[in-house]
Amino acid sequence: MKLESLPKTKEQKRKKIVGRGPGSGMGKTSTRGQKGQKARSGVSISAWFQGGQSPLYRRIPKRGFNNKRFETKYATINLSDLNTFFNDGDTVTPEILKERGIIKKQLSGIKVLANGELEKKLTVKAQRFSSTAVTKIEAAGGKTEVI
């Protein structure tokens, strides 16, 4: 076996040069075939594109069960909001929050979050509280009641 008779490796093979006239065998259309989208420059057709027809994932009916319809969503309110909208010694209920326009919808209930500081002594009645919100309300001298 001679060195010159060994098969060429990837590094030794010459790069294909296209579009250099008819004598090269790869002139005119530069190996892109005839006209069409794939013959143009800058073509990027995604693997799931089906030529403009309605894609398969949209043609097949949806099946199975999804729990999203039955999830419990809570309207959230922060301690900073309670601090600005209520006076010392007030009782905060979901109805009062809705009346004053602090929350738009009650949804499945109200959850009090601990964002901001509370400097007033309030009695807060809600469906849920974050653990840090409870500690901050009690540190300010207020009470929390789960409805």
Q: Could you read off the pLDDT of 107-123 as tens digits, one per residue?
A: 888 898 988 888 888 88
* CATH topology (fold) of 72-146: Ribosomal Protein L15; Chain: K; domain 2 (3.100.10)
Mean pLDDT of 15-33: 89
Write down the domain spans for the chain. Answer: 72-146
Whether 110 and 134 have beta carbons less than 8 Å apart is answered as: no
Per the prediction, the chain carries an average pLDDT of: 87
Q: Could you read off the pLDDT of 37-85 as tens digits, one per residue?
A: 888 988 888 888 888 899 998 999 988 888 888 888 898 888 888 888 8
**% the chain with pLDDT above 70:** 100
pLDDT at position 89 is 84
Q: Is the predicted pLDDT of residue 11 greater than 90, yes or no?
A: no
Mean pLDDT of 125-135: 90
